[in-house]
Structure 1
Amino acid sequence: MVEYQRSLLLYCFAGQACVTVGDQRYQLSSGQLCVTSGPAVQTGDGLILPIWYDTLPEIPTTRVMTLPAAWRYVMVAEFAASLQAPIGAASLSAPIERLLVDPAVAPPMPTAAAAQSVAAQLLDNPACQLSLSDFADQHGLSPRTLQRQFLQSTNLSFSQWRTAARVASAAALLSHGFSVAVTADMVGFQATSSLTRAFHRQTGCAPSLYCAGSSVTFEHIPQIPATAVCAQQAKMDETWWIYRGSATLTSGDYCRFLTRGDLVTLPAESDAHLEVAAGSIALPLGGVAAVDETPDLAAVVARFTPALAVAALQGATGGSVLSIAQRLNSARQMLRAGQAPAQVGQALDFPSVHAFARAFRLVHGTTPRGYQQHHQFVAATSQSVAAG
């Protein structure tokens, strides 16, 4: 089980998983993206990529959408970018941000009582064929008065409002697998072509290309851009794994070409420079990897998920998810070396001992003092056994 304290994107890369937001449960399978509207709990064995930025726009309701298979590596690249992004100063890439924009939302409700009652009837039964005059007669109004009530509070005429409501209802049906022809009939359009014209006018895409909750039509797959990693500003050594494609490492006169599966460690504050080619992905490992380490995507996600929880805390200490993971891994080494927790927290730029202890517990499951005491006990026991 994994708990997330803030809204985020959860992409199911492989397998199946369950995401619970409030009292709602969402089943995810490979290729599906869940955009949560608040804190979430993830269960199941599926490989989920958590993508979080503290600048994520607010999502009123949790949504699940199915992305084409060609988007798999686009989402891995977005996950990699989110690990390195400065907290408070970065956001989703444009193609991913467009996934969060839903162009098929229901129109605003009118405020006048009669118009509001009519709108509620149309939302309950979008196929209703009663005219403006029919509804006006029901409420003892003239058609002009009822029309004015819609226009004044929604900026839409009665006809425009009803069409927008039908498109929103159609989008919901399409997302559940209904065909365009069946959907058109269910929401009150006289012909499939009428739905297609109205749908395209409101959403910018044809009903057959619509993805629930998203303005992306998937006609074009986003390109993974070239990226670069510079070690000059880094405070800690970091190993990078070429997950996909290729990259070039340069350091002074030294140059090395890297391909899929290669590992390379960039020393902190050095002139080492990693140029990752377009269409390629390099993933950090959260520290210096062992010489014989063979990483995999699931292990990388597991390493950074606790650090993401720290980053999402109110009053997070800045930097990035990657830098938080690096600092908390260094904290273990410093504690094992005998440094006091207060000194370790200060050396690693945490704002207070409490902030350091809270972050350490989230990542390592124990307090800094508890971790240090356990290490000292294990070391003493080992020495005693060896001496005996």
Structure 2
Amino acid sequence: MWDAPYDGVPGAVVVGDFALTGGEWFPPHRHSAHQLVWSRRGVGSVRVGDETWFLPRTLALWVPAGVVHATGAVDPSWNRSPYFLPERCPAAISAWAEPTVVAVTPLLAALIDHLADAALPTEQRIRAEAVVFDLLRPLSTVAIPLPMPRDARAGQVAAALIDDPADGRTLAQWGALTGASARTLRRVFLAETGLSFGRWRTHARLRAAMPVLAAGQPVAAAARRAGYGTASAFVAAFHRTVGAPPGTYFARDR
């Protein structure tokens, strides 16, 4: 367990700063405090179990105290993460038991920067924290789970699709390669991942497209990376799975 230095903190929030290079990850860990994972610059990512969130600077992820998670970066990032002492948080906030995406408005970003000042007088800190709590509003966007099947044959298919999400082979073609029938592969994917094969492949494709979108490249480029024939088909799949179209999810300002 890793924790920020809370000794002597007059309020509920401690802000931690750390930099990550592109592709770098902190190993799985947990905190005794709640964490709002936010990249002040760059695009961060958080992994909890089989779920991964990609976070441009307009989004952050609330990670409740005690939840094991890994934090990484899609590109070189500067993370400015507030840590919240559970016993000093409003009950409605501390009741968030699951990782929750929140919008980082310009006002919330400015307040986090304000609270990062260790010399901030206690009265000002308490007032700023109260506004921060008011601004923590859950969004309907979701993570993209990608659990791996345990079966060796299905695992071979899954690994190949992660390596090349644009691979359009059918289950029958994969079956001929792995020695399992299409029916067997279909059953194994659903039983061992909780996702149909089609939905699992969609998740793999969208996960591959996320770094492309995060880098600011056009939707058409992300669609090609993910193996979609048209940008509109990719946008529809993204919206249906994540809960928002790519242009909204990766908006520079909300």
The answer to whether residue 209 in structure 2 is matched with residue 170 in structure 1 is yes
Alignment correspondent of 1:130: 169
Q: How far did 1:219 drift?
A: 6.9
Q: 1:142 aligns with which of 169, 175, 181?
A: 181
The answer to whether residue 19 in structure 2 is matched with residue 19 in structure 1 is yes
Q: How far did 1:109 drift?
A: 0.7
> Is this contact kept in 2: 1:166–1:187, CA < 8 A?
yes
Alignment correspondent of 1:195: 234
In 1, distance between residues paired with 2:178 and 2:137? 43
Q: C-alpha offsets along residues 244-263 of structure 1, whole Å, 9 cap, x if unaligned?
A: xxxxxxxxxxxxxxxxxxxx
- The structure having more radius of gyration, on CA atoms, is 1
Q: 1:183 aligns with which of 222, 235, 238?
A: 222
> Is this contact kept in 2: 1:122–1:162, CA < 8 A?
yes
In 2, distance between residues paired with 1:184 and 1:123? 15
Distance 1:34 1:127, change over 3 A: closer
Alignment correspondent of 1:246: none
Alignment correspondent of 1:32: 41
Q: Secondary structure at the match of 1:129?
A: coil
> Is this contact kept in 1: 2:154–2:185, CA < 8 A?
yes
TM-score normalised by the chain length of structure 1:
0.38
In 2, distance between residues paired with 1:150 and 1:179? 32
Q: Secondary structure at the match of 1:190?
A: coil
Structure showing greater relative contact order (alpha-carbon pairs closer than 8 Å, 6 or more residues apart): 2
Q: How far did 1:108 drift?
A: 0.7
Q: 1:59 aligns with which of 54, 69, 73?
A: 69
Q: How far did 1:60 drift?
A: 1.3
The answer to whether residue 157 in structure 2 is matched with residue 118 in structure 1 is yes
Q: How far did 1:68 drift?
A: 6.6
Q: 1:72 aligns with which of 106, 109, 112?
A: 109
Q: Secondary structure at the match of 2:148?
A: coil
Q: Secondary structure at the match of 1:149?
A: helix
Percentage of pairs with the same residue: 28
Structure 1: stretches of 5+ with no match in the other structure: 12-17, 38-51, 212-216, 221-388
Distance 1:104 1:168, change over 3 A: farther
In 1, distance between residues paired with 2:148 and 2:196? 12
Structure 2: stretches of 5+ with no match in the other structure: 6-13, 27-38, 47-61, 80-103
Number of aligned residue pairs: give it: 182
TM-score normalised by the chain length of structure 2:
0.56
In 1, distance between residues paired with 2:42 and 2:235? 26
Amino acid at match of 1:59: H
